[in-house]
Amino acid sequence: MANQSTVREFILMEFSDDRDMQIWYFVMFLVIYLLALVGNLLLGVAVILNHHLHAPMYFFLVNLSFSDVCFISTIIPKAMAASLTNNKKISYVGCAAQVFSVFIFGGSELSLLTIMAYDRYVAICHPLQYTLILNWDACLQMAAISWISNLINALLYTYLTFRLNFCKFNIIDQFFCDIPHLQNISCTDTRINQILILVTSIIVDSFCSGLIFISYGYIFFTVLTIPSVQGRYKAFSTCTPHLIVFSLFLIFALFAYMRPQSLSSHTLDLLSAFLYTVLPPLLNPFIYSFRNKDIQKAVWKMLIT
C-alpha cells in the first residue's frame, strides 16, 4: 500500500466548531458508546454462559454482537477524542485502518443478518429438519465464510482506496474515514475505483438482501398456513427482532448512500453517517433482548449472581 503522495495525515470534520457543543457531543458519544458496549457484551456473555441458549440462532447473535462492538469501537472513540481535545487529525495509516475496519464489520453485519434470516426460514419452514440442516458444522462454516469473505472485501476496498494519490487536499468531509469522501479529495482519477466498488457493492448487497426477502417470503407464507392464532403469533414473534434490526440497517444504509444529491449537505451527511454506523450497534442488543424472554432471563440471572 505504498503511496508517494505528500499527504501523511487527514483532517476529519466535526459536528460543531463551538467548544461547548463539542463537549456536549463528547458526552453524547460516551453515553452511546457505553450503552452499546454494555448491551452487546451482556448479550454475548449471557448466551455463552447459559447452555440452554447454545443454539444456532444465538450463536449467530453472539457473532453479531461481537461485530457490533468492533464496528462502533472503530468510529466512536476517535470521534470522542476529537470532540474532547479539538484534535481532528488522523494519520494516513489510522485512516486506512478505519476504512478497513468499517468495511469488515459493517459487511459482517449484513452477512450475519442474511444467515440469521436463513436460520429463521429453516426453523419455521422446515422445523423437523432444523437440527439436521443447521448442525454445528454448518453454523461454523457459515460464520467462517461470512468473516473471511468480508475480510477479503475489506482488504480489496482499502487497497483500491489507498492506492490513490492525495496530493494537496486532506480535509475529509465526514467524522470518520469514508471511501466516497476520500475519493473526492484524491488527485488521481477515481472512475475505475468507483465502478469497481459500485459493482461489487451492488452484487453483494443485492445478493444478501435478496436472500433475506426470499426467506421472509417463504416464512410469511408458511406462517399464514398455521391454523392456530397462537401458533402464528409465536412464529412471527421469533422473527420480529431480526426483521426490525434488518429494516433499520437497510433504511439507514440506503439513506446514507443512495439518497439524491439534492438532499446532500454537510449536516445531513454527518447525520446519515451517524445513523448508519452508530445506531444499529446501539439498538441491536436492546431489540433482541426486549423481544426474547430467554435472553432477558439469562441476563437477569447473570446480573444477580
pLDDT range class, residue 291, cuts 50, 70, 90: low
Q: Does the structure show a pLDDT above 80 at 66?
A: yes
Q: Could you say which DSSP state residue 261 is in?
A: G
| DSSP reduced 3-state for 8 | coil
Q: What's the pLDDT at 63?
A: 94
- In the block, which residue shows the cell 462502533? 72
Q: What's the pLDDT at 260?
A: 62
Query: CA–CA separation, 239 vs 117, rounded Å?
Result: 8
Question: CA angle, corner 274, sides to 270 and 279, nearest 5?
Answer: 165
Q: Does the structure show a pLDDT above 80 at 292?
A: no
Q: Does the structure show a pLDDT above 60 at 9?
A: yes
pLDDT range class, residue 1, cuts 50, 70, 90: very low
Which amino acid is present at 265? S
Q: What's the pLDDT at 152?
A: 92
How many other C-beta atoms lie within 10 A of the C-beta of residue 2?
A: 5
Q: What's the pLDDT at 154?
A: 92
How many other C-beta atoms lie within 10 A of the C-beta of residue 206?
A: 10
Cross-sheet strand order for the sheet of 171-172: 89-91, 9-12, 171-172
Q: Could you say which DSSP state residue 210 is in?
A: H
Which cell goes with 284? 441491536
- In the block, which residue shows the cell 490513490? 164
Q: What is the pTM of this model?
A: 0.87
224-277 tens-digit pLDDT: 887 877 777 777 777 777 788 888 777 777 776 666 666 666 677 777 788 878
Burial of 64 from C-beta contacts in 10 A (0-12 / 13-18 / 19+): buried
Mean pLDDT (the chain, rounded): 84
Determine what percent of the chain is predicted with pLDDT higher than 90. Answer: 25
pLDDT range class, residue 284, cuts 50, 70, 90: confident
Who has greater pLDDT, 15 or 147? 147
Which amino acid is present at 172? I
pLDDT range class, residue 2, cuts 50, 70, 90: very low
Query: CA–CA separation, 165 vs 153, rounded Å?
Result: 21
Q: Does the structure show a pLDDT above 70 at 74?
A: yes
Q: What's the pLDDT at 3?
A: 46
Going by C-beta distance under 8 Å and a sequence separation of 6 or more, which residues neighbour residue 21?
15
